[in-house]
Amino acid sequence: MSPASMPALALRAAIVAGSMIVPALAGAEEQRRNVFGDPFVQLTSAIPAGVCAPPPGPLLTDAEARAQAHGRIERGTSCYQSGRCRLPNAYLYDKEIMPRVRQAVAADGRFDRTTSVWALGQRRWIWLQGCVSKAEEAAALEALVRQIDDVERVVNELRVVPAATSAMPAATPPSAPPASSR
């Protein structure tokens, strides 16, 4: 084989190899993961998954993460630069805020039997996702979370699923204490 034909042979080999790799890559779905470590927790779970599907959470492909990275950096640091945040990045608050959100909803007690709610924290904003039985519950949850220290904004993405209450077991009334016999 002459040295002049070597580049042509290498080019043909690269084309053949590339034609086998591209279809394999196209068929493989890129893995989604919580690239930025945004806290995402389930707060309540009364409505069955068949009625209220769990939200996907902050799962991104690597390409989606690269596309969001610059905006996240700008939004995260602008809070500190403007004097609205004591920490140098607004995303640093999220892991502190989410346990307080969970605690506040659990302590309130109004939502355990009639809602399935998840919370996502990003840059001091809390997204409420999932389902409630009544619009009043969605408003009450939003107001409750808005009062938590360091929460800048609450984004209410809750869906009202009125039929969900019929799919749930009825609340059992507390039993009366036994009568004392004197």
**Average pLDDT along the chain:** 83
Considering only 53-62, 79-88, 132-141, 163-172, which range has the smallest mean pLDDT? 163-172
- Residue range 88-111: mean pLDDT, rounded: 96
What pLDDT score was predicted for residue 30?
86
Phi, psi at residue 127, to the nearest 5°?
-95, 125
What pLDDT score was predicted for residue 166?
47
With a cut of 60, say whether residue 20 has pLDDT above it. no
The percentage of residues in the chain with a pLDDT greater than 90, rounded to a whole number, is 69
Contact 111, 43 (CB under 8 A): yes
Q: CA-CA distance, 38 to 58, in Å (whole number)?
A: 7
pLDDT band at 150 (very low <50, low <70, confident <90, very high): very high
With a cut of 60, say whether residue 11 has pLDDT above it. no
Residue/partner pairs of 72-77 with CB below 8 Å, 24 or more apart: 72/36, 72/123, 75/123, 76/123
Candidates 118, 151, 148; CA nearest to 40 is: 118
Query: SS3 of 17, please?
Result: helix
pTM: 0.74
**Beta pairing partners, 42:** 118
Sign of CA dihedral 112, 118, 120, 126: negative
Query: SS3 of 122, please?
Result: strand
Q: Tokens standing for 112?
A: 């355990």
With a cut of 70, say whether residue 52 has pLDDT above it. yes
Q: Is 77 or 11 the better-scoring residue by pLDDT?
A: 77
- Residue range 161-165: mean pLDDT, rounded: 71
Domains of the chain: 40-57+91-165 (3.30.1340.30)
